[in-house]
Amino acid sequence: MRSAAKTIRVETLARVEGEGALFIKLAGERVADVKLRIYEPPRFFEAFLRGRHFSEAPDITARICGICPIAYQMSAVHAMERALGVAIDPAVRLLRRLFYCGEWIESHALHVYMLHLPDFLGCQDVVELARDHKEVVERALRLKKIGNRIVTLMGGREIHPISAAVGGFYKVPSKPQLVELVEDLEWALEASVDTVRLTSTLEYPDFEQDYEFVALRHAGEYPFNEGRLVSNRGLDIDAAEYEDHFVESHVKHSNALHSAIRGRGSYLVGPLARFNLNFDKLPLIAQQAAQAAGLHPPIKNPFRSIGVRAVELVFACAEALRVVREYEPPAVPRVPVTDRPGVGQAITEAPRGILYHRYALDEKGMILSAKIVPPTSQNQKRIEDDLREYAAQLTTWPVEEATWKCEQAIRNYDPCISCATHFLKLKIER
């Protein structure tokens, strides 16, 4: 007979981006301690951004994360445009949505199929998954590739694309170039609906939490680059007010700062939050796919995030098709931007949740200070809270199975540890 778990320990978390470890201590039926330890070394972006020109921020901050570089580029350009009082062309706005669609498709396809699905089907990785489910993996790879194709068309390459600029893009695609995407996108839309259906056949642990969901909300669309920051507990603020409502603390076991809502504690960002707060803004095809799979907001079971991510795949494909059809190139790829002092904040929706940037600039447009709060550092506290509750259900389980389930509970958040470590906070706490 196998013994029940006393401690659950994972020295190297797999199928997440970056380096983390997990430690859970059980005392009988009780969870005595939970530590999600982030040992990824710090890289100090906020410190070395000082003294760089505003125009360099999109290319430099992209290097925080190879999985979601566009999110960093988008939050950077929007924050800079606010600091510098720049208004962009509506066609550029559309193109930025398409750019984000590409990143969401690539990132969500990667996570749903290659990082998360293996847990549900008892596989170690996607290669093992391909042995019994080859057609599923082939669909995953083609979907992912279509996301990457959008990014490459618009930015030259999949990782750290080079076209994003403050004021617009260095170069914009022609209408015929975008129209060439239509056939792929129509296939991807169908494949995404199939993905939602696939997730409805999986088994989910019986586990719900009473979360505070935080996401952008925009009057007319499912959020990417713009909107008020809202929650299901009454938060409704502009990006400029972010630091009045959120606070970060530095804990010893982590090189990533923990973020909390002032006076309330942990909160959740990412697909579940967006879906629950913006279901009415999803296109009909995404709403129908969700409902057919039994996904009705609010979803409070974090394991079901895989289905919600799949619904967002449907959204991203449908939105990309809309942009391709409506697009007419702007008069100029980017509007001229002049150096001047200012402070600008922006929040955009990275695949994993809200990404906050703030910059202060001097009269030559040089960065005086920078603050970046990535989604994973915001979810980190919430992940530990989930583990504390969830591990209590596993106290009688054999240690190996309990460990795997806890890893899966972490992967519910698609954590990007590389991001979380590289951005912490700028202000010195006194």
Partner 1 sequence: MSSEKCKPRIAVFKFASCDGCQLSLLDAEDELLGVAGAVEIAYFPEASRRMLKGPYDIGLVEGSVTTHHDAERIQEVRRQCKVLVSIGACATAGGIQALRNWKDVDEFIRVVYATPQFISTLKLSTPIAEHVPVDFELRGCPINKGHLLELITAALAGRKPNIPTYSVCIECKRKANVCVAVAGGVPCLGPVTQAGCGALCPSFDRGCYGCYGPMESANTAALTNQFRVLGAPDDGIARSFRNFNAWSWQFRKASEECERK
CA-to-CA dists, residue 369 to 46, 53, 57, 341, angstroms: 7, 11, 12, 12
Q: What's the min distance (Å) between Cβ of 349 and partner 1? A: 20
Rg (C-alpha) for the chain, rounded Å, is 21
CB of 198 to partner 1, least distance (A): 19
C-beta closer to partner 1: residue 92 or 286: 92
| Residue 60 beta carbon to partner 1: minimum distance, rounded to whole angstroms | 6
> CB of 44: closest distance to partner 1 in angstroms?
4
Which residue carries 């190139």 as its tokens? 329
Q: Which two tokens stand for residue 111?
A: 């996570």
Nearer to partner 1, 169 or 327 (CB): 169
Closer residue to partner 1 (CB): 5 or 67: 67
* 65/215 with CB nearer partner 1: 65
Q: Which helix (H) or strand (E) holds 259?
A: strand 258-261
The CA-based angle 68-69-71, given to 5 degrees, is 70
Which residue, 294 or 398, has its beta carbon nearer to partner 1? Answer: 398
- DSSP, collapsed to helix, strand or coil, labels residue 118 as helix
Q: Which is nearer to partner 1, 344 or 415 (CB)?
A: 415
* Nearest approach, Cβ of residue 271 and partner 1 (Å): 20
Burial 406-418 (b: 16+ CB within 10 A, else e): bbbbbbbbbbbbb
Q: Give the nearest distance from C-beta 234 to partner 1 in angstroms.
A: 28
**Polymer length of the chain:** 430
Q: If you write DSSP's letter for every residue of 62-86 in order, what string do you get?
A: HTT-SSSHHHHHHHHHHHHHHHHT-
